Structure 1
């Protein structure tokens, strides 16, 4: 037999063979559950902390009324208060935490500073690299420490140096800039030249490379080009008709009314070939019998274009009719080596219209708005 303090009456032990009333058993279980929930004890878990707050020594569970004093860990700076005290309240919650910890900042080396970025926070890692052609002297990494200093100063980047280049046999070296010393620096450059009548076969330009080596010099060999060729509708202005040596030049001109397309001068190259020949482009004829055109910055009746000739590359404007709006549309065409295409929209007027009503032609009436002429 046992006596439950909340029931206020005696009940038989459950081990006796006598059966308990079901209603009484249910009431007993409910009262036990109520008793357990009323007497449960509230606690606080580990305090919620933000980055930079020292968590060393914090427990997992705290009793009601326990206090904890928090501070910033090494490498962080507190805000208004240097420390903050929080309490585990009766509700099992911690009181408000006002402590804010900000990381200490390390100043960037001046060469690395940019607008809006002059320092970096605690624990940041700076990785240094040098441009191609430079070697690093010093540490390639630096860390922002807890005291606001960098673990290592920035390194120096020193230009790669190369030994002086060797001049090619039967040649010489012409440096871009004068310098003194027994070595060259990365980026310094020069030209390898061969003594006439030889030409460089290989690299004509040399420099100190990022690898610390110099560009290999060329081989100087005797080179000649064939007798200068002729061009259609053109002629050589001055040249002795013979084979030419390396870098010898020849000039061309075109016949009257032909236009030179390309360089007027060709040169014997180290391959034994001449550089690209120019071409003489033919003039064009305006292929209409009646009408008015715009040429050389003025309107001209086709009968007044004497001679009927337009040079290569020159534009000619024809006038077409917009029947719906009854306005003129200027359409340009360009002379291209003897060919000047007449726009499809151009309709040549009849002889009577051209003679008796010239003011009604598309070239003489109001021009269409610009957006309709595109």
Structure 2
């Protein structure tokens, strides 16, 4: 019984000369799990991923049966996120492992984000790959048949392109289209085939008179007063190719047979006997000047072979 008492006393002495198990460190692991340890024993800590150790990694059981200074594990930290041109990010620092920041372009009307909008502070204290803000662009403007446009690419939002139709075509719709924020163009115009004004005929005219004519538009010819029209065609039609159906060789002609009433004069009058609606070719009429004719002027006028009076502006009388 006495020997058993000495054994228990020896075991008690041995236990009292050991350091207790090392206290736990938050977010840390022991290199080797260890229980109560004698003076001089060492224990090494490792932080879990995303944390770094502050203080001594290894602690020692001192002679007073206490452990040396304990370390602690603090989250890894990243510096400022990468600078992205034309972009801002949130939130503000500091940033620990696992924290995220989100980028947005400063002008969403002209720029768009390319790449991940959100990046992460990694366990190695580096940021994941950052995005870029690229200038938003439109592709080529809408194709308009029979038209050209300016300026040349590239095209960014709010930029415009102006179309011009080639010859024998008329623009229908907006001449200018705009590159929009979504990278699409506004609706473009069309160029419609047109005819220039039709060929004219001497001593005649046509109607209607317009700057340009659409395919299937038709004009009608007629001669001036008292002139007879000859020829098979009195109308002309604008074709789908921008040409007129009747060419110059086939146009009608106006053959004068009479003249209209002669021009009136200042400071004089036409003899009543000469007043009528039409006059025969080569017919002569007489004026009477109140104060006599101007030197070298005759008080007469003649209906010419072209159906016009020989003196179109009969300024013949003295004042």
Q: TM-score range by the shorter chain?
A: 0.3 to 0.5
Larger Rg: 2
TM-score (norm 1): 0.30
Identify which of structures 1 and 2 has the higher relative contact order when contacts are C-alpha pairs closer than 8 Å and 6+ apart. Answer: 2
TM (normalized to structure 2)?
0.34
